Amino acid sequence: MSELKTISFVLDGEITEIDFNKSGYSPTTTLLQYLRSLPDHKGVKEGCGEGDCGACTVVMGELRQDKIEYRAYDSCLIFLPSVHGKQVITAENLGNSGNMHPVQQAMYDFDGSQCGFCTPGFVMSIFALYKQEYEVDKEEINDALTGNLCRCTGYKPILDAAEFACKNKEDDHFCECEAGIVKMLKSVRRDKTISIITDRQKYYIPFSKAEALRLRKDFPQAVLLTGSTDVALRVTKKHELIPEIIDLSQVNEYNYTKTENNIISFGSNFSMEDVRRQSKETLLALYEMLGVFGSRQIRNRASLGGNIGSASPIGDSLPVLMAYDAEVELENHKEKRTVKLRDFITGYRTTICAADELISGVNISLPGKDRIVKSYKISKRKDLDISTVSACFSLKLNDGKVEDIAIFYGGMAAWTKRASKTEAALKGKEWSRVNVEVAMKQLEEDYKPIADARSGEKARNIMAANLLLKFWSESRRSA
């Protein structure tokens, strides 16, 4: 039985196969680097190499049943092997200067470009919107473009162009070619694990849970990735050589959501954007937090499992999931176990996840109607910024008194930490401004924040205290 060693994807309407032992590309070559190495995809620009500017935005088409779903991604944060089985689309594939795609035409007509360097990235983000079946309103446009920076225009003409293009959608040449692309994508579907072994690196792409768990057992030192929005930075920013990687992004068994007995479950591969859309009706605090989580491109790629597993002190989903008292499902090749997220993280980027375990999913019990759950994030910029301070509060009142309250802050300690002393100061007390203001002082007992590039410690303390007051103020409105 020969191992699969090559990856295949669709580019320029054709299947491209890459053998990493012959091509000169390393398995941690980013999609951006790959595309820029080609003569005809120089429109994909590098502005930052860390997913913060969107100049490298591409759209990838993925099979969903017999249709193609189009989403925008930062190509600088994707390792080339992750592209296996997908269609890669760049601005050059939309149209050319003599025959522009409607999105390009709108950007041109509305003066959406000045220096032009960010433009192909904006075009691709708008194109991804253009290809959605749902109605695209202004809010949707704004959200979809938070991952693209422009330093010249002040954005207004770009917004106008996006609105015009999305309001005047028509069938484009991607519609015409879709059936053919579907056939190609089906032909490169794999079940057997792809093992890319080069002189210096090993990169595994399993397609089933069983294979993923086997690889995890056999290569416990391997770096795990799904969206790679965090791991890729080790290559693009720190110029690290990662020797072993298990890429879980193609394990479909981890890509699910279901609701049973008032419990919503998300598979660990479920993208943050999918989590956001799913939580809109049921888990509002999560929905709101994810609305200011990264950018559309990042959320399309980042996974819930990755965000939890990396246990970052400023992982924005964590305070919310902890306030909801979410459970994490872990499994190895033999068995499953379920732990409280509150117990899962043990310190700065450390968890109780064993060397042979993977996070398979997250379960969240829907809060009762008598619970008020709210999340907040303070960051220098509203969008695509890491929290200076984030918080989530879950409150149960009984006759105006605090029966139960759970308070979790991000950005205030080396990991997402519970404000136990503050909670204690509030429990059993009347939910009044006076009592809240007393509790606000307790926060300084719970946390000793640091000063960093985002904020000084004094301001962090003010922010933390203010968020509790804000929650009090807003809880009265929603109660």
Partner 1 sequence: MESINHESGKLHVSGEAIYIDDIQVSDRLLHGYLYTSPYAHAKIKSFDLEAAKAVKGVHAILSYKDIPGHNQMGPVFHDEPVMVEGLVQCIGQTIFVIAAENQEAADEAKKLIKIDFEILEPIITLEDAIAKNSLLQPERKIETGDIEDGFKKSSHIIEGEFATGGQEHWYLETQICLCIPGEGKEMKVYSSTQHPSETQSIVAEVLGTGKHEIEVECRRMGGAFGGKETSGNHVAAWTSLLAVKTGRPVKMRLFRDEDQKITGKRHPYHFKYKAGFDANGKIIAADIQHFANGGYATDLSMAILERGMLHAENAYYISNMRIVAKAMKTNLPSNVAFRGFGAPQGIVCIEHIIDRIAGILHKDPVEIKTMNFYGIESNNVAPYGAKIENNRLHVIFNRLMQSSDYISRRVAIDDFNKENEFFKKGIALTPVKFGISFTTAFLNQAGALINIYSDGTILVNHGGTEMGQGLYTKIRKIAAAEFGVSLKKIKVNATNTSKVPNTSATAASSGTDLNGMAVKDGIDKLKKRLAYFAAEQIISDYQKPAKPENIIFENDLVFDSEFPDLKYNFDELISKAYVSQVSLSATGFYKTPDIHFDRAAGKGKPFHYYAFGMAVTEVLLDVLTGRVKILRTDILHDVGESIIPNIDKGQVEGAFVQGLGWVTGEDMKYDKNGNLLNHSPDTYKIPSIQDIPQDFRVELLQGYPNPGTIRRSKAVGEPPFVLALSAWFAIKYAVSAVVNHSKEPKLALPATNENILLAIAEMK
In the range 202-241, which residues lie near partner 1 by CB under 8 A? Answer: 237, 239
Site for partner 1 in 409-448 (CB under 8 A): none
Q: Could you say which of 55, 194, 359, 407 contacts partner 1 (CB under 8 A)?
A: 55
Candidates 5-13, 43-51, 270-278, 417-425: pick the segment binding partner 1 (CB under 8 A): 43-51
Phi, psi for 250 (deg, rounded to 5) = -105, 10
Closer to partner 1 by Cβ: residue 70 or 127: 127
Q: Does 50 sit near partner 1 (CB under 8 A)?
A: yes
Rule CB under 8 A: say whether 107 interacts with partner 1: yes
- CA-nearest of 353, 135, 128, 360 to 254 is 360
Instruction: Return all residues near 354 (Cβ < 8 A) that are at least 6 apart.
Output: 330, 332
Based on CB atoms, which residue is closest to partner 1, 165 or 364? Answer: 165
List the one residue from 4, 15, 23, 109 that touches partner 1 (CB under 8 A): 109
156 binds partner 1 (CB under 8 A): yes
Torsional sign, CA 313, 319, 325, 331: negative
CA angle 54, 379, 282 (to 5 degrees): 85
Q: Looking at 384, 406, 413, 426, which residue binds partner 1 (CB under 8 A)?
A: 384
Q: Are 374 and 303 in contact (CB under 8 A)?
A: no
Site membership for partner 1, residue 111 (CB under 8 A)? yes
Pick one of 57, 82, 87, 119: the residue that binds partner 1 (CB under 8 A): 119
Q: Does 59 bind partner 1 (CB under 8 A)?
A: no
DSSP 366: P
Site membership for partner 1, residue 477 (CB under 8 A): no
Binding region for partner 1 (CB under 8 A) out of 45-53, 178-186, 243-251, 316-324: 45-53
Name the pairing type of β-strands 223-225 and 263-267.
Answer: unpaired
CB of 271 to partner 1, least distance (A): 21
Is position 91 an interface residue for partner 1 (rule: CB under 8 A)?
yes
Question: Binding string, 364-383, against partner 1, x = CB under 8 A?
Answer: ------------x-x-xxxx
CB-based contacts of 183, cutoff 8 Å, min separation 6:
none
Binding residue (CB under 8 A) for partner 1 from 3, 13, 19, 116: 116
Cβ proximity to partner 1, 126 vs 413, nearer residue: 126
Stretch of residues binding partner 1 (CB under 8 A), selected from 65-73, 148-156, 336-344, 367-375 = 148-156
322 touches 342 (CB < 8 A) = yes
- DSSP string for 51-96: SSS-TTEEEEEEEETTEEEEEEEEGGG-BGGGGTT-EEE-HHHH-B
The answer to whether the CB of 324 falls within 8 A of the CB of 332 is: no
279 touching partner 1, by CB under 8 A: no
Rounded to the nearest whole angstrom, what is the least distance from the CB of residue 64 to partner 1 in the complex?
27
Residue with tokens 């996006």, as numbered in its chain: 162
Of residues 237, 314, 226, the one with CA closest to residue 272: 226
